[in-house]
């Protein structure tokens, strides 16, 4: 710990706990972790703390409110400014990742609520939740392995625009151009699933039962048109998609 400035006021451990809103047990734990050390002791070896300790404890509480671990806080309090900045940036990255996870969770809940609001059977709603969870886990696994293309959304949007042009032109889903685009979509779906049949079935379930209102430009009508184009392919090509 850094050298402390002198201070006149002294608190016993119970008084310090009352002043900071922490428990005596917590203060003992902080001392064990070397986050806190008494400024002095009485002749009876009772701990005495000063104003520096009070400020330090309030800072620890503030950093804990940011979600930092006690280990990170210890490094921040005792290391140099660069270490402080690096720890804050690393924690910010963890917070960003958690926000992304929660946003994905909210999307899952939105889809599940929308499905439930349509008076669907409970088993159908649960099947949809299971399918969404499987797809999300697959996406997260791909990201961790670095297999998620950065331009994936742009590529799906471009493919959707081409397929929508066919639909709006009145082309039958079984026409050559929609079938060719369906094959391209199928290749991307299979690549995303990594050959896992359960993931393919989950994607098919979501596409048919809870299609997104707007996902990279895709809406329920376009999803239905894609399904029709896929169904026009030989069965060996599109099962279980």
**Could you report the per-residue pLDDT of 5-37, keeping only the tens digit for each?**
555 788 999 998 988 888 999 999 999 999 998
At residue 95, the 3 state secondary structure works out as helix
Q: What is the DSSP string of 147-177?
A: -S-TTHHHHHHHHHHHHHHHHHTT--TTSHH
pTM above 0.85, yes or no: no
Residue 67 zone, left/alpha/beta (φ > 0; ψ -120 to 50; rest): left
**Could you report the per-residue pLDDT of 98-126, keeping only the tens digit for each?**
888 788 778 777 777 777 777 667 788 78
pLDDT bucket at 71, cuts 50 / 70 / 90: confident
CB neighbours of residue 161 within 10 Å: 13
Q: How far apart are the first and last CA of the chain?
A: 61
pLDDT bucket at 43, cuts 50 / 70 / 90: confident
How many CA atoms within 13 Å lie on the side-chain side of 142?
A: 17
At 237 the pLDDT is 66
Q: Is 99 exposed, middle or buried (0-12, 13-18, 19+ CB in 10 A)?
A: exposed
> Mean pLDDT score of the chain, rounded to an integer?
83
pLDDT: which is higher, 215 or 73 = 73
Residue 62 CA to residue 67 CA, distance in Å, equals 9
Give mean pLDDT, residues 71-89: 78
Beta carbons of 16 and 27 less than 8 angstroms apart = yes
Domains of the chain: residue spans and CATH: 11-78 (1.10.1660.10), 90-238 (no CATH)
Where is average pLDDT lowest: 41-45, 157-161, 179-183, 229-233? 41-45
Q: Does a cis peptide bond (omega within 30 degrees of 0) precede residue 240?
A: yes
Please give the helix or strand (H or E) that residue 87 lies within, else none. Answer: helix 81-117
The three-point CA angle 54-59-62 to 5° equals 130
At 176 the pLDDT is 94
Q: Residue 78: pLDDT above 80?
A: no
What the block records as the tokens of 116 is 């439930």
At 240 the pLDDT is 55
Q: Residue 196: pLDDT above 80?
A: yes
Q: Residue 241: pLDDT above 60?
A: no
């Amino acid at each position: 710990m850094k050298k402390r400035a002198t201070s006149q006021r002294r608190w016993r451990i119970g008084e310090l706990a009352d002043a900071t809103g922490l428990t005596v047990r917590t203060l003992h734990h902080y001392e064990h972790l070397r986050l806190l050390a008494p400024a002095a002791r009485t002749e009876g070896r009772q701990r005495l703390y000063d104003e520096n300790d009070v400020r330090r404890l309030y800072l620890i509480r503030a950093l804990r409110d940011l979600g930092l671990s006690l280990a990170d806080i210890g490094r921040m309090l005792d290391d140099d400014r660069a270490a402080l900045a690096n720890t804050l940036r690393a924690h910010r990255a963890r917070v960003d990742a958690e926000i992304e996870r929660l946003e994905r969770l909210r999307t899952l809940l939105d889809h599940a609520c929308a499905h439930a609001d349509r008076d669907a059977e409970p088993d159908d709603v649960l099947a949809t939740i299971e399918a969404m969870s499987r797809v999300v886990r697959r996406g997260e696994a791909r990201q961790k392995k670095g297999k998620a293309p950065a331009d994936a959304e742009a590529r799906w949007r471009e493919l959707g625009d081409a397929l929508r042009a066919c639909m709006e032109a009145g082309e039958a889903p079984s026409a050559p151009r929609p079938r060719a685009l369906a094959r391209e979509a199928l290749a991307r779906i299979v690549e995303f699933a990594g050959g896992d049949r359960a993931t393919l079935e989950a994607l098919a379930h979501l596409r048919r039962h809870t299609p997104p209102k707007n996902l990279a430009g895709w809406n329920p009508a376009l999803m239905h048109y894609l399904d029709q184009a896929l169904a026009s392919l030989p069965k060996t090509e599109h099962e279980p998609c």
